[in-house]
C-alpha cells in the first residue's frame, strides 16, 4: 500500500539526475553484451555487408583484432558465424566437421590473440555449410531430417570444442540435439563447455540481413517453418525451454529479441535460469535505418533497446551494436 497524492509524488525521485541514477532499477553494462562476428577467408579482408550498415565480414586477422577490441571495451564474449565459400558447401554440410573450417580457424586466432581474455560462443547448425541453405540434412522433398541432422550436429559441436570453443550454441531447432550434444561433450572430456540453447527460435521475418552475411539467402529453398517456431506461440516456447534445460542446457536464448520480450519474461519467471536474447540482424538494420532517416538519435535508440532486454529479464544480449554500446557505456 502506498500513500495518495499529494503525499506521494512519484516525480520527486525524477527531479534530479543523481536521484534518477539512485533509483534506477535496471542497469546496462558492457558485461551484458555478446558481440556477433562474421568470418571470411583471406588475410587483411574486411567485407562490409550492405544490408547491415556498419557490420563487416572479417578474415582471421580482423577477427583477432576485434577480440582485442572486445577485451579493451569489457565485452566478455564473442559469437562467431562463418561465411563459407560456395565451393565448400555441400548437400550434407560436411564442411562443418572440418577441423580447418572457418569457424575453427577463427577460434584459434582469437585464442592466439587474447588467450582466455574473452569467451567464444560458436553457432551449431548446418545452414552456413549446406548448398541448400537449410539448417539440417534434407530428404528428396526438401524436408529437414531431425535425427540424421542431430548426428552431424554432435560431430560439429565436438569439432568446435576441440578447437577451443567455450559455449556451444545450437541454433538449428532439431528435437533432442541438446541431450545428444551434452552426452558427447561429457564422453569426450569437455565437461566445462557450456551449452546455450537457442530454445525459442522463431520463424521470423527479421533474419534477412544475417542470411546475406553468411551467404545463405540466395541458396535457401522454401522456408524453415517445419523446425523454427510459429510467431504466434508462447506456450510452445516454454515447452521447448523445459526440454532443453532437462537435456543439459546451461542457458537458453530467445530469438529474435525485441518483438519477443514477452517470451523472455515468461521464460525468466517460469524457470529462473540465465536467459539471453539475440537482437537479430533485422532489428539492428531497423535502428540504423531510423537513425539514417533522422527518425531518432542512434545512440539513444541503441541504449534504450538494449536496456529493454535487461528489464525484461535477460542476463545478456547478442547484438551487432555491442562495440558501439560498450563505448557509450564506458
Q: Is 310 designated active site? A: no
- CB 278, CB 251: distance < 8 Å: no
Instruction: Assess whether pLDDT exceeds 90 at residue 216.
Output: no
Mean pLDDT of 219-246: 96
When divided into structural domains, the chain yields a total of: 1
Which burial class, exposed, middle or buried, applies to 116 when counting CB atoms under 10 A from its CB (0-12, 13-18, 19+)? exposed
User: Is 287 domain-assigned?
Assistant: yes
End-to-end CA distance of the chain: 39
Cα angle at 61 between 56 and 66, to 5 degrees? Answer: 55
Residue 128 banded pLDDT, cuts 50, 70, 90: very high
Shortest CA distance to 119 belongs to which of 106, 110, 109?
110
Shortest CA distance to 85 belongs to which of 59, 64, 65, 110?
59
User: Is 15 domain-assigned?
Assistant: no
Instruction: Assess whether pLDDT exceeds 80 at residue 123.
Output: yes
HSE-CB of 299 using CA atoms within 13 angstroms: 4
Cα angle at 70 between 69 and 72, to 5 degrees? Answer: 65
Instruction: Assess whether pLDDT exceeds 80 at residue 76.
Output: yes
Helix, strand and coil in the chain, % to nearest 5: 45, 15, 40
The three-class DSSP label of residue 260 is: helix
Which burial class, exposed, middle or buried, applies to 184 when counting CB atoms under 10 A from its CB (0-12, 13-18, 19+)? middle
DSSP conformational letter for 255:
E
Q: How many residues does the chain have?
A: 330
Residue 318 banded pLDDT, cuts 50, 70, 90: very high
User: Is 297 domain-assigned?
Assistant: yes
Domain that holds residue 123: 27-329
Instruction: Assess whether pLDDT exceeds 80 at residue 2.
Output: no
For the record, the C-alpha cell of 214 comes out as 553468411
pLDDT of residue 289: 97
Mean pLDDT of all residues belonging to the chain: 97
Model confidence pLDDT, tens digit, residues 43-61: 999 999 999 999 999 999 9
User: Is 86 domain-assigned?
Assistant: yes
The three-class DSSP label of residue 277 is: strand
- Rounded to 10 degrees, what is the CA torsion of 178, 182, 188, 192? 130
Alpha-helical (H) ranges within the chain are 17-23, 60-73, 102-114, 146-163, 177-187, 208-214, 235-247, 261-271, 281-292, 298-312, 322-329
- CB 298, CB 291: distance < 8 Å: yes
User: Is 6 domain-assigned?
Assistant: no
What is the reported pTM? 0.96
Instruction: Assess whether pLDDT exceeds 90 at residue 284.
Output: yes
Which burial class, exposed, middle or buried, applies to 54 when counting CB atoms under 10 A from its CB (0-12, 13-18, 19+)? middle
Name the catalytic one among 224, 255, 268, 310: 255
Torsion 187-164-193-103 (CA) sign: negative
User: Is 163 domain-assigned?
Assistant: yes
Whole-angstrom distance, CA of residue 250 vs CA of residue 262: 21
Model confidence pLDDT, tens digit, residues 238-273: 999 999 999 999 999 999 999 999 999 999 999 999
Find the CATH number of the domain harbouring 57: 3.20.20.70
Model confidence pLDDT, tens digit, residues 288-302: 999 999 999 999 999
Alpha-helical (H) ranges within 24-163 are 60-73, 102-114, 146-163
Instruction: Assess whether pLDDT exceeds 90 at residue 222.
Output: no
Name the catalytic one among 201, 224, 268, 310: 201
User: Is 8 domain-assigned?
Assistant: no
Instruction: Assess whether pLDDT exceeds 80 at residue 1.
Output: no
Which burial class, exposed, middle or buried, applies to 294 when counting CB atoms under 10 A from its CB (0-12, 13-18, 19+)? exposed
User: Is 278 domain-assigned?
Assistant: yes
Q: Is 201 designated active site? A: yes
Whole-angstrom distance, CA of residue 179 vs CA of residue 246: 8
Instruction: Assess whether pLDDT exceeds 70 at residue 184.
Output: yes
Amino acid at each position: 500500500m502506498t500513500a495518495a497524492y499529494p503525499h506521494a509524488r512519484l516525480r520527486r525521485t525524477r527531479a534530479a539526475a543523481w536521484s534518477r541514477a539512485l533509483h534506477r532499477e535496471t542497469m546496462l553494462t558492457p558485461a551484458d553484451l555478446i558481440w556477433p562476428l562474421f568470418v571470411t577467408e583471406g588475410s587483411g579482408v574486411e567485407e562490409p555487408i550492405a544490408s547491415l550498415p556498419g557490420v563487416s565480414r572479417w578474415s582471421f586477422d580482423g577477427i583477432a583484432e576485434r577480440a582485442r577490441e572486445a577485451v579493451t571495451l569489457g565485452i566478455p564474449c564473442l559469437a562467431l558465424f562463418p561465411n563459407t565459400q560456395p565451393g565448400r558447401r555441400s548437400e550434407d554440410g560436411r564442411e562443418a566437421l572440418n577441423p580447418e573450417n572457418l569457424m575453427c580457424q577463427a577460434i584459434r586466432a582469437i585464442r592466439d590473440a587474447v588467450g582466455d581474455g574473452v569467451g567464444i560462443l560458436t553457432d551449431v547448425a548446418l545452414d552456413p555449410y549446406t548448398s541448400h541453405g537449410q539448417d539440417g540434412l534434407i530428404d528428396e522433398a526438401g524436408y529437414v531430417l531431425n535425427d540424421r541432422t542431430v548426428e552431424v550436429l554432435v560431430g560439429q559441436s565436438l569439432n568446435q570444442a576441440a578447437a577451443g570453443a567455450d559455449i556451444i550454441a545450437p541454433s538449428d531447432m532439431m528435437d533432442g540435439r541438446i541431450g545428444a550434444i551434452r552426452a558427447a561433450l561429457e564422453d569426450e572430456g569437455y565437461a566445462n563447455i557450456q551449452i546455450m540453447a537457442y530454445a525459442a527460435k522463431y520463424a521470423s521475418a527479421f533474419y534477412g540481413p544475417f542470411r546475406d552475411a553468411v551467404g545463405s539467402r540466395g541458396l535457401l529453398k522454401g522456408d524453415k517453418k517445419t523446425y523454427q517456431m510459429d510467431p504466434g506461440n508462447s506456450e510452445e516456447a516454454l515447452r521447448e525451454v523445459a526440454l532443453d534445460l532437462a537435456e543439459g542446457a546451461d542457458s537458453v536464448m530467445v530469438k529474435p529479441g525485441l518483438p519477443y520480450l514477452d517470451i523472455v519474461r515468461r521464460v525468466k519467471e517460469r524457470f529462473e535460469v540465465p536467459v539471453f536474447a539475440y537482437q537479430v540482424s533485422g532489428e539492428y538494420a531497423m535502428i540504423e535505418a531510423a537513425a539514417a532517416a533522422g527518425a531518432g538519435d542512434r545512440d539513444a535508440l541503441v541504449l534504450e533497446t538494449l536496456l529493454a532486454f535487461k528489464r525484461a529479464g535477460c542476463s545478456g544480449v547478442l547484438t551487432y551494436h555491442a562495440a558501439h554500446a560498450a563505448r557509450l557505456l564506458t
